[in-house]
Structure 1
Amino acid sequence: MPIVDSSYNPPLFFKNGHLSTIYSGIVRKVKNLEQIRIRITLPDSDFLDTDWSYASSASKKLVIIIHGLEGSSKRAYIQGSAKVLIESGYDVCAINLRGCSGIANKLFRSYHSGATEDLHAVIEHVLQLKEYQNIYLHGFSLGGNLLLKYLGEKRELPIEINGAVAISVPCQLADSLHQLLQFKNALYAKRFKGNLIKKLKSKQELFPDLILDTDIENIKTLKDFDDFYTSRAHGFKDAMDYYSKSSSLQFLENITVPTLIINALNDSFLGTECYPIEIAKQHNNLFLEMPKYGGHVGFYGKDNITYTELRTLEFLKNLS
């Protein structure tokens, strides 16, 4: 499909990518959204928590939302999306990936950018829980990469899955990491690393023989974290092996349902390889929109509704 033209043109203040990113991630608040928690037991005996929001009348349409790195269902970008969707007649299942619901998961492993087995487990649970005729996947950043990989893994998708929208996606993980390690993203990287180290210390209490104090002290960058923990806990050789095998870029050509990717051109987390322009041009189901502005999961909009929330709703309605 041709590249999708974007109409996003925010106020001057939000044309700055960093300001847009920070406002969305820290300042923005979403109120009056009810979320009902349902815990799912996973095939390996671990668990993850999902938070559900429902349309005012019985719906046969469900959107499954997946957060980004160190996010949760309580983040404004998740709750804002959920609120817009339920007000338009969709039910919403917001996933908290392993260890992200405020309660530590049971196993040494946790979540990562390519853990599609957990998304598959949620979808299987949903199909048993209620009869939805149309299911859509919606992910942000890491969650966007996860859903794109899931859709492109040549698995037999449930017939109920009819489309997807992915926002601010690091389609090529090594390229994104390279950006995060640059000075322009130092504050973001420090924040991510601090949260990950905090969780690793909690994990150390459960598995003291597998995580030593010296191991934690040696983690200086996000790549160090992935070299020590992410790769080791999830069966990869090292961080680069993890990035290589988990990047969604290599799976995009296999996607068979209509899928929209929105990656802002001023997203400081994304390098050139995270904009799959040539793939989208030749693809029947992949729509790539690259607004000039938006930062990383920013996209400020009027009345506390972001541009991507409205675009997601528009895209899904056109699939109905």
Structure 2
Amino acid sequence: MVMLHGLEGSAHSHYIIGLHHAFARLDWSSAVMEFRSCGPEMNRARRLYHSGETSDLDLVVRHFLSRGFEELYLVGFSLGGNVLAKWLGELGPEAPIGVPDIQSPFDIAAIVWNKEDLFPSLIEAPEAVEGLVHKCFRLLTDFLQTFRREIGEVNFCHCPYAWAPPELGCWLSEDEAGSMNVGMFERFCLPTLNALSDTFGGLFMHCCATADHQYGSFGKIRNLRGLNRVFQKPGAKPAIDAFSGRTVLVQAWMDEAALNALLEMAHPDTRFLFNLSVEKPEQAVPLVERLRKRCPRQAANAPREKAVAG
């Protein structure tokens, strides 16, 4: 993780130190790029730093990539965020970094507003919560539209890693759905999820919360193209029953035995997108062939048996 501080900040800024500690707990390597004149050494060059100067950042990023880091993430604060955004725009589709974790408007609001205060406010100050969620919706929409305009047709998908044509919509996480009842979800979350789906042509959603009780509400999201769930008890069957025939179930982090168990529960019109990994490239082809035998593609007028296309 490479951090960019704000105007006249440094590696000793309180927010930078706090993130260092947080990343250390995750066993992540982290570093700070101090802008010219912000570190312990006097800047002796002919230029200083400003929000549009990106050559130093480009040099730092390429240095880390040359050292063999397979994944590199960046976070910028205030002016540092401006520098990061401009650098991404200059690189376009060639940006050699991981894309961010896109959260739903309500999830963003839960980050902005302390959760211990936010959830009581769903009852005590619902209009204030709705106002914040709507502001987060506008911020997220502006970000996604700007990113697509400046970087290109990149379809964010962080959990799990997958790809879909950008015209099918955007990907995001809705992890707070398990923390509220159906009525609250449909008041505070559903309107902006539908607005995002309408704006971008559809929605792919990840939810790792215990949220089976929200499946009926998830079904009210217009053009919900795909859903990734980290299944808790009672397992995958409720999701398969709820979304077969209308939403692709995007699944990952499973071995072949777990995959076969899912296929046994599938309906004729269940669709899966599996994200699987193997230790060696030569193991991939046999795995795909076994899946094809389990999941034959059938013509529209053929007899429908238990089969899954994906």
Q: Name whichever structure is richer in strand by fraction.
A: 1
Same fold (TM over 0.5): no
Q: How high is the TM-score relative to the length of structure 2?
A: 0.34
Q: How high is the TM-score relative to the length of structure 1?
A: 0.33
Larger RCO: 1 or 2 (CA < 8 Å, sep 6+): 1
